Structure 1
Amino acid sequence: MNEETRPATVRVFIALAPPDHAKEELVRELRPSYGTHPRMRWNRVEDWHITLAFLGELPAGTVPVLCRPLADLAAAHEPPRLALRGSGSFDDRVLWSGIDGDLDDLHALAADVRTVVRSCGVPFEDRPLRPHLTLARARRGDLSSTSEIAAGLAEFAGRRWTAERLHLVGSNDGRGPGPIRYRDIESWALGSGEHGGA
């Protein structure tokens, strides 16, 4: 398939992203673990995000349908103030950093995002929101690493920051030989009050 051929489907989610200074705080805490746990599949720092709704594989033609409604939602929503805090793991395989701050606002934003997606006729699995930032995945036979790293991050508490933009993100499926890669399809300023026309 040449580069100009458009894929029939795209793997999509809607998310917030921490600003660089918040990521740098956490990287400083994680840096020793990069050296002591090189077998972990570490996510690229530039890909760190807080998923609000995971839509999965969608027909590529569906994605533009979401853009205007999500832009309007972002413009109308006050940006939540959040912080990165602590750590843990899912099933000893997925290492994460927790989210602190305006969690009620975060849950409200996620609920509104999911309502918009449903109103666009896009089917998806409406999983409960567990706000977190995925940092790494353990390889088979190395599951103890996640609990060791999480224990070292238990007291981490980053500074508060404002989530400035809502991101519509596409990714590969991670089943290929390389790491999962993410790319912004679109993003919109939160609380801008600038609704799209129509």
Structure 2
Amino acid sequence: MDDHTEPPTRRVFVALAPPDEAKDELARALEPAYVRYPRLRWNRIEDWHITLAFLGEQPSTVVPPLRAALADRAASHPALRLGLRGGGHFDQRLLWTGIDGDLERLHLLAADVRDLVRSCGIAFRERPLHPHLTLARSRRDDAVSVPLAAAGLTGFTGGLWRTERLHLVGSNIGRGPGPIHYRDIEAWRFGAAVRALDGDAPAEP
């Protein structure tokens, strides 16, 4: 199959992505865990995202209407100030680091995105938003590594960073055997008001 051909179905989600410097900071903090818990199924750093709306497996036909709608929605929202902090786990199986910063506006953005997805006629299973970044999953016979790795992140506090773009992300489902990887389908800058977050003078009207 041509690399530029869209797969018939893919897992799709809308997300925010930490910048490279924030990822590098977290990766350095995880170096001891990488060595101590090699049997964990560690996510690729390239796949680290903060999911706002997970749409599950969808036909590729959902992508065009989402592109236009998400572009408009991103332009109407300012950027957020976020950071990565600490560690935790879900059911001793999934390791995560938490999100710090402008959480109130993060929840508002996620609610807005989910409303938009529903308005496009796309059905998906909604879960409460617990802002986090998934790092690894345990194997079925290992119920110890994830809690220990989470405890090792207790003191981690990353620097704050600005969300530059809203990302529509898709998997490589339909492209043959092998691990599932994710890539941006498209990403859109948040509105011009983001400049004020850095102390810059607002743009002239």
Which residue identity lines up with residue 21 of structure 2 in the other structure? H
What do residues 12-66 of structure 1 show as CA deviations (whole Å, max 9, x unaligned)?
Answer: 0000000011111111110111111111111011110000000111121121111
1:30 paired residue number: 30
* Matches for 1:57-76 after TM superposition, within 5 Å: 57-76=57-76
Secondary structure (helix, strand or coil) at the match of 2:151 reads helix
Alignment CA distance shift 1:99-1:122 (3 Å):
same
SS in 1 for 2:180: coil
Equivalenced residue count is 191
Q: Does 2:141 align with 1:141?
A: yes
1:95 maps to: 95
Alignment pair present for 1:52 and 2:52: yes
Q: CA RMSD in A?
A: 1.7
**C-alpha distance in structure 2 between counterparts of 1:153 and 1:20, whole Å:** 19
* Structure 2 CA distance for aligned equivalents of residues 56 and 94 of structure 1: 18
1:2-21 mapped onto 2 (5 Å cutoff) = 2-3=1-2, 6-21=6-21
Alignment of 1:119-198 (within 5 A): 119-172=119-172, 178-192=178-192
> 2: distance between equivalents of 1:6 and 1:94?
30
Which residues of structure 2 form unaligned runs of 5+? Answer: 194-205
Percent identity, aligned pairs only, is 64
Instruction: Measure the CA separation in 2 of the matches of 1:154 and 1:6.
Output: 41
Moved segments of 4+, more than 2 Å:
2-8, 176-180
- Which SS does the other structure have where 1:67 is aligned? helix
CA distance in 2, matches of 1:124, 1:143: 30
- Measured in 1, the distance between the counterparts of 2:5 and 2:48 equals 28
Structure 2 Cα separation of the partners of residues 57 and 12 of structure 1 = 6
In structure 1, distance between residues paired with 2:190 and 2:35: 37
CA distance in 2, matches of 1:179, 1:145: 22
Q: Distance in 1 between matches of 2:164 and 2:7?
A: 30
1:50-92 alpha-carbon deviations (Å, 9 max, x no partner): 0000011112112111111100100110111100000001111
Q: TM-score, length-normalised on structure 1?
A: 0.91
Contact 2:40–2:138 (Cα < 8 Å) also in 1: yes
Change (3 A) 1:178 1:36: farther
Q: Distance in 2 between matches of 1:127 and 1:143?
A: 24
What secondary structure sits across from 2:122 in the alignment?
coil
Offset, 1:5: 5.6
